[in-house]
Amino acid sequence: MSLIDNLARLDAATTGRAQPRATVRHRHLSQRPLVFVPLITAGEAGAPLGALIGTERTSPRLLTVAQPRDRDLRFAFLSRLAEILLPYVESYADDVEPAERTEADPETGKRVKVEVELCADAPQLIVPSRTGIEFVRLLGRSMRFRRTAEQDPDAPYPAPPRVPLLGRWLTHYGERSRVPGSSLLLAMTDLLSRHWATGQSSLEEQHLGALLAWIEAPEGTSGADAALRAELARDADGQLLCPPAGPATDPAFDNQLLAPAIERHDRARTALAAAADGVEADALLASLGAAEREIDALVASRTRPTWDAVWRGLDALCTLPEAPHTVDRWRGDRWSFTGHRDRVAAGEPPQPRVDDAVTAANKLATREREQARLDAQEALDDPLVMAGRRLAGEAFAGEVTDVVMAYSEGRAPRPRPLVTVRTPDRPQLDEGVKAYRSLAGKPQSFQFVTHTPDGALVLRLLDKMGRGKEPEPGSVPEVGDHVCWTLFEHEQRGGPRLPDPEDTPWTHGGPPETAATTPAVGTPPAPVGDRPDPVTAEDIL
């Protein structure tokens, strides 16, 4: 965080209200996002307790698992989750536009342009907090290696039909969310704290209720007080007034409300199973239904405040105009979505448990490139972000005070005008350092020449002046212009092309093992990374 952001935090602390960290919205928001508010059972990896989910603010779907340790109930939950999530995802799959992509020609190996489909829009998943993103990954991991009865008639405890596919999509979304600036899967706390600073620490900003309280505080009221209430206030029974955004629940809720309700449910189920006749069973069925409704109500009571908070967070974000470059980055998300759609359609196996060396390196390269791109684009889109870069000496703004025409040496001299700039900023300029300004959306390069005796900067303009001996009109800054230069590049170069996984060199262990190299005796060849998890008879996920 830059000193400018810290100053916003200080201002927030004294005023009691959140202060802007951005003047535009730096993430794309879908017209129809799917909000997902999950809860889990404490101590059980990835065992869902319930969720609110949907695209309609006023009518979320409530899913619960009345006994989280029961495999059948859990499968039923995942099945219903798939019934909601997959149609939403698939509704974006068919609306496509033509696009070009560079691919290696399978015959010649040359890079050629091919005409492909690009989905016109992509599904967007929003969870309350970063732990929600972790949970999406965990759910994805727990489901994608499952086998349905159709895939494998002998599978013990076969998964419901669409569950493995849901696992693959959630895995894809979880993985994409690691790419800086991506927007397929977003956490509301991240979105809000990217755009506002509160008078609390970044650790405390992980609490959605508290964070939103700072941001929503009307003029003249204290967001700080509201945040404190959201964080700590409990009712007479010791329950938090603003339940945590999950997926973990408050222990007091587990112990005082949930555990007894689950116990009642279990008792009702046991009694029903032991029913002597139909009349008794009807009565017991009613009491089981009541027990289930009680758990539904409990889950709803803990998720609904968070559900509402996520939508109010979206309201707050929509008060900011979308930053121009988010369209570019969202296009990257659409490519990502389209790519996975194609892999699923092509019948490729689920994502492996662990990336191979080449995949890992490619992913890291993408993330680093996107991080640099995001940093540059946010600054170009937002004067408040640029202010931070200027303070750090990575950019400078100033008035052009002189322009002297000059030419390069050589047989065909090219225009290389010298531009003098007066700036209050203190850029970290070593000799020969490049600086860039945005000219009609494209970066124009300059090179630092010298400081003038009275402290101005002299820059040499290097490009974007046309082909002639004289620069094209408008391509050279004029005296009196106010211009902002950056020392960072506006566009990112691609890194080296890595070998294909099957050409992994000896330094990295050679090509990854496949079914072909490790034949399993008597079993059908399944790729190593693709085998189902072992399951036991007990109630585990």
Partner 1 sequence: MPPQSLDARALAALAANPGCGRRALLDGAGVPKAALAQALGSPSGFGQSQFAFMRGHAFEARVKADGGTELLRLTHACLGGGPEPEPGAASVPDLTAAGPEGRAARTELALDEASAARTWTLLDHPMLALDVAGTPAFLEPDAVVVAPDGTWTVVEIKSFPMIDGSADAAKVGAAARQSAVYVLALEQVARRLDPAPEVRHRALLVCPKDFSNLPTASAVDVRKQLAVTRRQLSRLTRVEDIAATLAPGTTFDVTRPAAELAAAVDAVPATYAPECLAACELAFHCRDRARAAGELTSLGRSLRADLGTLATIDEALAAARGEAGDPDDPAVSALRRAGALRAEALAGGVRCP
Partner 2 sequence: MNPVPFPFPANPASFDPGAEATRATDAILRDTLDGAHRGVVVDSPPGAGKSTLVVRAALELAAAGRPLMVVAQTNAQVDDLVLRLAEKNSDLPVGRLHSSDPDPYDKALDALPNVRKSAKVGDLSGLDVVVSTAAKWGHVKDVEPWRHAIVDEAYQMRSDALLAVAGLFERALFVGDPGQLDPFAIAEAEQWAGLAYDPSASAVTTLLAHNPGLPQHRLPVSWRLPASAAPLVSDAFYPFTPFRSGTEHADRALDFAVPSDGSGPDRVIDEAALSGWGLLELPARHTPRTDPEAVRAVALVVRRLLDRGGAATSERAPEPVPLTADRIAVGTAHRDQAAAVRGALAALGVVDVTVDTANRLQGREFDVTVVLHPLSGRPDATAFHLETGRLCVLASRHRHACIVVCRAGVDTLLDDHPSTEPVQLGVTVKFPDGWEANHAILSRLAHHRIPWP
Residues at the contact surface with partner 2, assessed by CB under 8 A: 178, 180, 354-358, 360-361, 363-365, 367-368, 370-372, 393, 428, 432, 495-499, 503-510
**Longest CA–CA separation in the chain, Å:** 104
Interacting span for partner 1 (CB under 8 A) from 25-33, 401-409, 465-473, 482-490:
482-490
Question: What are the φ/ψ torsions at residue 185 (nearest 5 degrees)?
Answer: -130, 120
Tell me whether residue 360 or residue 479 sits nearer to partner 2 (CB atom): 360
Q: What are all long-range contacts of 531-536, with beta carbons under 8 Å and residues at least 24 apart?
A: 531/145, 532/145, 532/146, 532/147, 532/152, 532/155, 533/142, 533/145, 533/146, 535/156, 535/157
**Whole-number minimum distance, CB 157 to partner 1, in Å?**
12
Tell me whether residue 78 or residue 314 sits nearer to partner 1 (CB atom): 78
Tell me whether residue 279 or residue 506 sits nearer to partner 2 (CB atom): 506
Q: Rounded to whole angstroms, how far apart are CA atoms 172 and 281? A: 45
3-class secondary-structure state, position 453: coil
In degrees, rounded to 5, the angle at the alpha carbon of residue 36 between the alpha carbons of residues 35 and 37 is 120
**Whole-number minimum distance, CB 190 to partner 2, in Å?**
13
Residues 330-359, one symbol each (x = binds partner 1 by CB under 8 A, - = not), give: -----------------------xx-----
| Binder among 182, 200, 336, 504 for partner 1 (CB under 8 A) | 200
- The listed partner (partner 2, partner 1, none) that binds 507, CB under 5 to 8 Å by sort, is partner 2
Place of tokens 């072992």: 534
The one-character DSSP state at 39 is E
Q: Which of 400, 535, 392, 499 lies closest to 456, judged by CA?
A: 400
- The listed partner (partner 2, partner 1, none) that binds 451, CB under 5 to 8 Å by sort, is none
Burial class (CB in 10 A: 0-12, 13-18, 19+), 2: middle
**Whole-number minimum distance, CB 44 to partner 1, in Å?**
6
The one-character DSSP state at 413 is -
**Whole-number minimum distance, CB 381 to partner 1, in Å?**
9
Q: Which two tokens stand for residue 171?
A: 């895995």
Residues 383-422, one symbol each (x = binds partner 1 by CB under 8 A, - = not), give: xx-xxx-xx---x-x-------------------------
**Whole-number minimum distance, CB 533 to partner 1, in Å?**
5
| Binder among 116, 252, 285, 361 for partner 1 (CB under 8 A) | 252
Note whether 536 binds partner 1 by CB under 8 A. Answer: yes
From the CB of residue 191, how many other CB atoms can be counted at a distance below 10 Å?
Answer: 22
From the CB of residue 10, how many other CB atoms can be counted at a distance below 10 Å?
Answer: 13
- The listed partner (partner 1, partner 2, none) that binds 368, CB under 5 to 8 Å by sort, is partner 2
Place of tokens 């309280």: 213
Pairing of strands 442-451, 395-404: unpaired
From the CB of residue 448, how many other CB atoms can be counted at a distance below 10 Å?
Answer: 19
Phi-psi bin for 250: left (phi > 0), alpha (psi -120 to 50), beta? beta
**Whole-number minimum distance, CB 359 to partner 1, in Å?**
14
Pairing of strands 185-187, 125-127: parallel
Q: Are 427 and 394 in contact (CB under 8 A)?
A: yes
Q: Which two tokens stand for residue 494?
A: 């691609």
Peptide bond into 524 cis (omega under 30): no
Tell me whether residue 173 or residue 485 sits nearer to partner 1 (CB atom): 485
Note whether 136 binds partner 1 by CB under 8 A. Answer: no
Residues 46-65, one symbol each (x = binds partner 1 by CB under 8 A, - = not), give: x-------------------
Beta-carbon contacts of 110 under 8 Å, excluding residues fewer than 6 positions away, are 104
**Whole-number minimum distance, CB 20 to partner 2, in Å?**
25
Note whether 484 binds partner 1 by CB under 8 A. Answer: yes
**Whole-number minimum distance, CB 366 to partner 2, in Å?**
8
Tell me whether residue 11 or residue 266 sits nearer to partner 1 (CB atom): 11
Q: How many residues does the chain have?
A: 541
Footprint on this chain of partner 1 (rule: CB under 8 A): 1-4, 6-11, 13-14, 20, 23, 41-46, 68, 138, 141-142, 199-204, 232, 249-252, 254-255, 258-259, 353-354, 379-380, 382-384, 386-388, 390-391, 395, 397, 437-439, 482-486, 533-536, 538, 540-541
